[in-house]
């Protein structure tokens, strides 16, 4: 037996595993509605695709870009902060990454050592925890409870024997859809600054909120790492482009790590992405679809299935409380896939301790899929719970 690293012994990313299972059933002829994955069904903006085609046609794209990204794209990202948030930054603050996913890996490597502790509001995005475990960083769950509006509690961290070295927050939040107000964000930034805790602010779902504005932590903290990207609002998931605003002390380390990890993000995709910030008219049509999809799920799904669901104010997820139906969301997700043809993700992905009571449904897909999902899920719930059909 050859040696395998202990660090690679991390939990499975269940949402992605669910996608693999659903695709396998589809290959055997099943008709599956995909609510398991946080991926817009809409295409990248037309002007972005056109810019990529032109750049490739001019053969301007065959080589590496500089590691921190194509300068024009870094300028466009800095301009976006000025226009969207009235926040001043420049090319030198911006690093373009391969999805926001590598921005997390780079941030963890730049900011933390083996054995450091990082607090994670829980439920939360599983890759933070899994990646940290692979790097020997200790993720510490910071419960975000339904009874407290799913908000992470700073007072709770103050009560711990030891303060964490870092804190990751995401607003809008995956899977709960909680959107922090600017005041709440400032309070978190101030708490971290006062205690020397490195804040990582995941802002990948910015632009996707329903009645609540999304603010950036950049306004309130000079030491925070701000992470965002093109996968969600910009509908460019497969382009694998993200970015970060680097605090001054980490810009050098992040550049060196990037050079050694992947050299540069794909150059053609970066050339296309320069145009993304001009595509708001097209992109805002997608938000209307998410808003309609959200309503279809909230108004259409049976209360037994929705339970005490999370706010759903931003991102494109509904975190349903299925405890009236089952105490095993992994099994329920499996039954929904095989018996109803609807792929969803168990809450265990986001919260190992409490996630068995929850399922996450993504409403990033098409509106017709949402209608069909409601019909299938309700039929399944009626049969499973012997309810009188409301259909």
Ligand X SMILES: Cc1ncc(COP(=O)(O)O)c(C=O)c1O
Please report, as ranges, the residues that interact with ligand X according to CB under 6 A: 38, 99-101, 125, 170, 174, 202, 204, 229, 231, 237, 242
State how beta strands 225-229 and 242-245 pair.
antiparallel
Q: Whats the size of the chain, residue-wise? A: 391
CA distance 208 to 226: 17
Full DSSP string of 89-117? --GGGEEEESHHHHHHHHHHHHH--TT-E
Name the region of 99 (left: φ>0; alpha: ψ -120 to 50; beta: rest): left
- Please report how close the Cβ of residue 229 comes to ligand X at its closest, in angstroms: 4
- Please report how close the Cβ of residue 299 comes to ligand X at its closest, in angstroms: 25
- Which CB, 237 or 270, lies closer to ligand X? 237
Edge-to-edge strand list for the sheet holding 317-321: 317-321, 358-362, 345-346
- Please report how close the Cβ of residue 202 comes to ligand X at its closest, in angstroms: 5
- Which CB, 125 or 277, lies closer to ligand X? 125
- Which CB, 178 or 274, lies closer to ligand X? 178
- Please report how close the Cβ of residue 325 comes to ligand X at its closest, in angstroms: 25
Q: Is 63 exposed, middle or buried (0-12, 13-18, 19+ CB in 10 A)?
A: exposed
- Please report how close the Cβ of residue 75 comes to ligand X at its closest, in angstroms: 20
CA distance 184 to 148: 14
Residue nearest to ligand X (CB): 99
- Which CB, 36 or 202, lies closer to ligand X? 202
Strand partners, 168: 200
- Which CB, 126 or 341, lies closer to ligand X? 126
**On the CB side of 364, how many CA atoms lie within 13 Å of its CA?**
30
- Please report how close the Cβ of residue 103 comes to ligand X at its closest, in angstroms: 8
- Which CB, 242 or 311, lies closer to ligand X? 242
Q: How many CB atoms lie within 10 A of CB 238?
A: 10
- CA 96 to chain CA centroid, nearest Å: 17
- Please report how close the Cβ of residue 98 comes to ligand X at its closest, in angstroms: 8
- Which CB, 100 or 235, lies closer to ligand X? 100
């Amino acid at each position: 037996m050859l040696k395998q690293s202990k660090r690679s012994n991390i939990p499975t990313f269940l949402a992605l595993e669910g996608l693999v299972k659903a695709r396998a059933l589809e290959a055997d002829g099943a008709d599956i509605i995909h609510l398991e994955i946080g991926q817009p069904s809409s295409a990248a903006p037309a002007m972005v695709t056109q810019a990529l085609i032109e750049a490739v046609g001019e053969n301007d794209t065959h080589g590496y870009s500089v590691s921190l990204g194509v300068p024009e794209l870094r300028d466009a990202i800095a301009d976006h902060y000025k226009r969207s948030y009235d926040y001043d930054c420049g090319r030198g603050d911006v690093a373009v990454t391969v999805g926001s996913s590598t921005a997390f890996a780079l941030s963890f490597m730049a900011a933390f050592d083996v054995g450091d502790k990082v607090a994670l509001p829980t439920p939360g995005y599983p890759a933070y925890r899994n990646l940290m475990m692979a790097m020997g960083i200790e993720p510490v769950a910071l419960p975000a409870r339904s009874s407290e509006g799913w908000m992470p509690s700073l007072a709770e961290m103050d009560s711990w024997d030891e303060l964490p070295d870092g804190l990751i927050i995401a607003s809008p939040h995956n899977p709960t859809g909680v959107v922090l107000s600017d005041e709440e964000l400032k309070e978190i930034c101030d708490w971290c600054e006062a205690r020397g805790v490195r804040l990582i602010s995941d802002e990948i779902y910015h632009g996707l909120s329903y009645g609540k504005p999304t603010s950036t932590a950049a306004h309130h903290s000079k030491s925070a790492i701000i992470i965002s990207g093109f996968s969600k609002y910009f509908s460019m998931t497969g382009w694998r482009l993200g970015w970060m605003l680097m605090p001054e002390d980490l810009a050098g380390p992040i550049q060196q790590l990037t050079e050694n990890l992947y050299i540069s993000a794909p150059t053609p995709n970066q050339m296309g992405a320069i145009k993304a910030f001009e595509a708001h008219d097209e992109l805002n049509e997608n938000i209307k679809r998410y808003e309609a999809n959200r309503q279809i799920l909230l108004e259409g799904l049976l209360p037994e299935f929705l339970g005490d669901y999370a706010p759903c104010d931003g991102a494109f997820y509904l975190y349903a409380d299925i405890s009236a139906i089952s105490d095993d969301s992994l099994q329920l997700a499996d039954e929904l896939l095989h018996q109803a043809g609807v792929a969803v993700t168990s809450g265990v992905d986001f919260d190992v301790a409490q996630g068995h009571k929850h399922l996450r449904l993504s409403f990033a897909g098409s509106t017709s899929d949402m209608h069909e999902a409601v019909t299938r899920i309700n039929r399944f719930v009626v049969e499973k719970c012997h309810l009188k059909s409301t259909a």
